[in-house]
Amino acid sequence: MHDADRQRAGQRAEKQSTKLYGWLPYADPPKRSARDNLLQVLFAIGASLRTDLDGVLRIENLWDGLSGSIGKQKIYTGASASYKSPVSSVSVTEHQYAEGGEEAKLFEGATQAGDIITFSEPMYALTASGFSILESNANYAKVSAGNGVLTGRKYLHNTRQVTRSVDGARSDDANNVRTVTDATLVSLVNSVAVAQQLANYYRCSETIAADIVLDRQAPGDVVSVYHPYEKKAVSACIQSLDINVSGTLKAQMKALVGFVPMQIENAEYFDYQETLTEDGTWICPPGVATVTVVCIGAGGGGSSGYPGNASEEPQELKEDVYIGWNIGFGAEGGQGGEPGSGGKIVQATIMVTPLERFQVHIGVGGVGGDVSTEGSNPGETGGETSFGTLSSAQGQASDAGYTDIITGITYALPGQHAGIAGGKGAGRSRSVSYEYAPGTALTDYDGVVWEPGAPATFDDLVLLDVGAAGISHYAAQAGKGSGGGPAVGANGGEGEMGDVSGRTYSEAYAFGGRSGNGADPIKAKDAATRGCGGDGGHGGGGEGGYGLAVVTEMAQRPKSQCIVRRGRPGYGGKAGNGADGVVLLYYSAPKPRRFGAFITQDGKFYLDGLGRFFVG
């Protein structure tokens, strides 16, 4: 049995799927082809594309066993060996794409039916006006005929560098670093593996170049080859074969000395993700060598809303024969509070040993600022989350939060909403004398409308006459108070009616109607997702205008009194609480191999010359 046949026979017919996360650009030849994207895929999963003898393409790991030998008798004269500068380390850029970027105009103008509009970077939430989107993905949109605009939103593109030292590198090679920055399918789940594979490749710096008599070797095979300088057989991996067909198969070979393709040891691996939400101890499972840890601190509480404003101080009225207090103005509502900050984020890949124990502490969400009667009360800062010696305090908060690429959940975002300002109370118009102006309504984030209390009218006046016809007399007038401004969760309070009194020709009293209270808002929403900040508290409603309170002097000043009665502005609302922190773990663990009979590529049992099964 030939070595290559033996290799293929030892592989299972069972297929293994590998999930990739990231982005592939639009394949638009000649600038970029589907082959370029295929290379991105192969690089990300550490595999190669090979062809069976019958022409079937296979994506598989390179075998680390010897596939044959190329002795001295199969090498033409003129063979040589060359040496590259040693590489000290490799650096791989890890990519993450998360929704949350700014809106961008992607196209404007006339289109024909079936036109394809491509994007230079991935986009989402596409919208069109003037034509329709027939089909689309992150890279393009196929549109109908028309004339209009295509818009979309950008992804937030976050990157991180993963570095691995090359075994055997000398101290004087420290500046010789190989970097890979544009492999956009390298993500958190495979960046460490890719870096290890590159470090394994750059560990070898010697290449043999020789013309050989080709047998059945193929690029990627590890072979025993005769070294032209050392005069002995060495292990090398064939990098390339440029074949000339004549009476014999002659090939120009390049082989990397000492290179052995990395394997997934002797078991099948797949990715694990754990979400830790409670204090305790995490024990490293057997077979795990490295763990990528993301510590996310607790979110902060939002700031409380500001209280509504009080109506202005009463304005004394001395006009013609009137004395007392004029109609009050409605006051503005209080501003909303700021949302809480998302938790701090730190990410690291650490070396671990099986059954190693790590203490886990989950930070507690910050409490939102309390109800306020003056100014805005700040919320508490979220607590620190730690995994062993790694702490979220070592990281930074991000407006984009942290998106788990496996689950799609985004953690550690700032509070979703700032508080909504309270509405203005009703009262005297500032533009037209002796007119009433209504307050202002507001709409909350759920689309619910909250209304102010009603403004007073001159039909709401209460009058008092003291005296008889033809005799000097005095009158008192009292108006109704106007309604207060609304707040999220409550309508503005209604004003009260005024009243008057008097006993003799010399007495008259006017009591203006009490102004409507500004509404007190409900508590803002707490953060629902781990590490996120609470919403800002809502502002209180403004106080309504107080009612008119005057007396009228016809001949002489009576013994009189005018009193204004006041409600109050709404309180600043309590803010939302931040959510507790979380620890995310990513690692690979061995999955036991299922033993049984070997299977050939066409799905049949592999048998020896006597018809017996090969098992393993």
In a domain, 603, yes or no: no
pLDDT of 258-291, one tens digit each?
A: 999 887 554 334 578 899 999 999 999 988 888 9
Residue 248 has pLDDT above 90, yes or no: no
At residue 14, does pLDDT exceed 50?
no
Tell whether 19 and 158 lie within a shared domain.
no
* Domain finish residue from 245, 265, 285: 265
Looking at 178, 209, 226, which one is the last position of a domain?
A: 178
- Is the same domain home to 361 and 239? no
Q: Could you tell me if 466 and 473 are in contact, meaning their C-beta atoms sit under 8 angstroms apart?
A: yes
pLDDT reported for residue 606:
58
Provide the pLDDT for residue 613: 52
Verify that 391 and 477 share a domain, yes or no: yes
Q: Is 191 contained in some domain? A: yes
Answer yes or no: do 248 and 299 share one domain: no
∠ CA 420-424-428, rounded to 5°? 175
In a domain, 602, yes or no: no
Q: What is the pLDDT of residue 18?
A: 76
pLDDT of residue 214: 87
Question: With the CA atoms of 277, 283, 289 and 292 taken in that order, what torsion angle do they form, in degrees rounded to the nearest 10?
Answer: 10
The Cα–Cα gap between 149 and 144 comes to 12
Does residue 600 sit within a domain? no
Condensed to tens digits (0 to 9), the pLDDT of residues 516-544 reads 999 999 999 999 999 999 999 999 999 99
**C-alpha triplet 472, 473, 476: angle, nearest 5°:** 155
Statement to judge: residues 277 and 194 lie in one domain: no
User: Does one domain contain both 82 and 93?
Assistant: no
Phi, psi of 215, deg, nearest 5? -100, -105
Measured between alpha carbons, how far is 333 from 521 in angstroms, rounded to an integer? 11
Pair 167, 186 in one domain: no
Could you tell me if 325 and 437 lie in one domain?
yes
Token duo for residue 327: 């109609």
**Residue among 44, 24, 46 at smallest CA distance from 93:** 44
Which three-class secondary structure state does DSSP give residue 423? coil
pLDDT averaged over the chain? 87
- How much is the average pLDDT of 331-344? 97
Dump pLDDT digits (tens) for 562-610.
Answer: 899 999 999 999 999 999 999 999 988 766 555 455 555 555 555 655 5
Rounded Cα–Cα distance for residues 184 and 188 (Å)? 11
CA distance 424 to 422: 7
Cβ-contact 331, 543 below 8 angstroms: yes
Give the model's pLDDT for residue 268.
39
Residue 538, domain member (yes or no): yes
Q: What pLDDT was estimated at residue 53? A: 67
Count of domains observed in the chain = 3
In the prediction, which pLDDT does 7 show?
A: 36
Same domain, 501 and 412: yes
Please state, in angstroms and as integers, the Cα–Cα distance from residue 436 to each residue in 152, 459, 460, 468, 573, following that order: 47, 12, 12, 33, 28
Q: Is the peptide bond before 25 cis (omega within 30 degrees of 0)?
A: no
Mark out the alpha helices in 331-413 (DSSP H runs).
none
pLDDT tens digits for range 79-92: 999 998 888 899 99
Shared domain check, 375 and 481: yes
Q: Of 265, 286, 311, which residue constitutes the final position of a domain?
A: 265
Percent of the chain topping pLDDT 90: 61
Given a contact cutoff of 8 angstroms between Cβ atoms, the answer to whether 48 and 196 are in contact is no
- Domain of 115? 89-178
Residue at 485 is within a domain: yes
Contact 510, 547 (CB under 8 A): no
**Dihedral class, residue 495 (left if φ above 0, else alpha if ψ from -120 to 50, else beta):** beta
Residue 462, domain member (yes or no): yes
Task: Tell whether 199 is covered by a domain.
Answer: yes
| One domain, residues 422 and 302 | yes
Helical (H) or strand (E) element with 614: none
Same domain for 62 and 140, yes or no, is no
